[in-house]
Amino acid sequence: MSDAPLRVLSWNVNGLRACARKGFGDWLRRARADVVGLQEVRALPEELPGPLRAPRRYRATWVPAERRGYSGVALYSRCEPDRIETGLGRPRFDVEGRFVLARFGRLVIANGYFPKGSGTLRDNSRVPYKLAFYRAVFERVEKLRRAGLRVLVMGDLNTAHREIDLARPRENVRTSGFLPEERAELDRWLRAGWVDCFRAFEPGAGHFTWWSQRLGARARNVGWRIDAVLASPAAMRFVRGAFHQPDVMGSDHCPIGVELDRAVLR
């Protein structure tokens, strides 16, 4: 087995076809990733060109939403998973194409596009749906954790956990993504033993993964850290580093990732 770390990356591409026109293929070739989770793909696999639908040296799994041009997740992996789950088994969530899970030996990787709570009218009407999705994912991965597996949950969580995780916390206390009940849900995960991998290595401010496309927010680094990798305690023992790639363009989000000792698979 290679001594190189196992690289697991996640990126909300905000439309894979659009991201591909802005350099996604070059990024993927340079990423040296063993597993890549994508969120907000917003395309059916048959609508994608071959290099995106089945990238060279990767096995691709697609979970599109029933609604065209909306949501959708995907998982690329260099090795064949032992098992794949393309949903949570709950139609109210699965119709939106928000969850895919893969098992590689003793490692389980869950890739999720957690809902926004704002609703179409920005009235926070989808917060109950969002929190129910969090609870459904928690229930699923806790079962795997209790079964002795090492679990990573990664993706666009659509929640900034602490004030340090967004540039303007005071102005956003009533905005979905930073509501007390949303932050409390992440508190529950951490109390249960899950670890925010990035914060385990980087306690400092100014690290964001999403920026509004208005008013030059990205250039001024006025952003939110809403994308993350959460590790179960058993998986965290193998995590050697966690990172963001804010210089990678192509989406209003940037890629994030972790590196693990390959012994996590055994």
DSSP secondary structure letter of residue 165:
G
Domain 6-265 has CATH 3.40.50.300: no
Closest CA to 72 of 183, 155, 177: 155
Map residue 186 onto helix, strand or coil.
helix
Annotate 76-145 with three-state secondary structure: EECCCCCEEECCCCCHHHHCCCCEEEEEECCEEEEEEECCCCCCCCCCCCCHHHHHHHHHHHHHHHHHHH
Mean pLDDT of 107-130: 96
Give the total residue count for the chain.
266
* pLDDT per residue as tens digits for the range 212-248: 999 999 999 999 999 999 999 999 999 999 999 999 9
Q: In what order do the strands lie in the sheet with 83-85?
A: 83-85, 99-104, 107-113, 150-156, 227-231, 195-196
Listed as own residue / partner, the contacts of 55-58 with beta carbons closer than 8 Å and 24 or more positions apart are: 55/25, 55/28
Mean pLDDT of 149-156: 98
Domain residue limits, the chain: 6-265
Residues catalogued as catalytic: 156
* pLDDT per residue as tens digits for the range 17-31: 999 999 999 999 999
pTM flag (> 0.85): yes
